Structure 1
Amino acid sequence: MKKLLTIACYNLALWGVLGFFATLLLGFLSCCANLPANVFYTGLVLFAALGITATTICVSRGCKKAS
C-alpha cells in the first residue's frame, strides 16, 4: 500500500510541475496570439485530464504488480 501511495504522489507531483510550465506556456501563447480566455482554460483542462488519466493508468499498473 505504501508503494502505491508513493507512486501516486510521485506521478501527481510530476504532473503538477508540468502543469505549472504548461500554464506559463499557454498563458504566453494566448497572450501573444490574442486568443480568448476560453482557449486558455480549455487547454489547461485538457492537460489536467491527461495528467489524471496518466496517473490513474500508472497507479493501476502498480496495483497489478503489487498483488
Structure 2
Amino acid sequence: MKKLIIIALSLITLRGASQIIEKNIDKEEVKTVVTTNLKEQDDKLDSIYFQHDDDRNSSLIEKIGF
C-alpha cells in the first residue's frame, strides 16, 4: 500500500511541476529559436553511407554499427 501511495504522490508532483514549467515557457521565444536553428532536410540528399573502409577486416560488431 505504501508503494502505491508513493507512486501516486510522485505522479501528482510530476504533473504539478510540468504544469508550472509549461506556464513559464515563453512560447514566442521557443518559436523564434526553432525557426532560426532548425531547418528542413533536403529530400534529394543521398542516404548516409555507414560502410567501413575495409569491411573484410571488420568485426561483426563494427559491421552492425557499434
Both structures adopt the same fold (TM-score exceeding 0.5): no
Q: State the TM-score, normalizing by the size of structure 2.
A: 0.38
**Which protein has the larger Cα radius of gyration, Structure 1 or Structure 2?**
2
Q: State the TM-score, normalizing by the size of structure 1.
A: 0.38
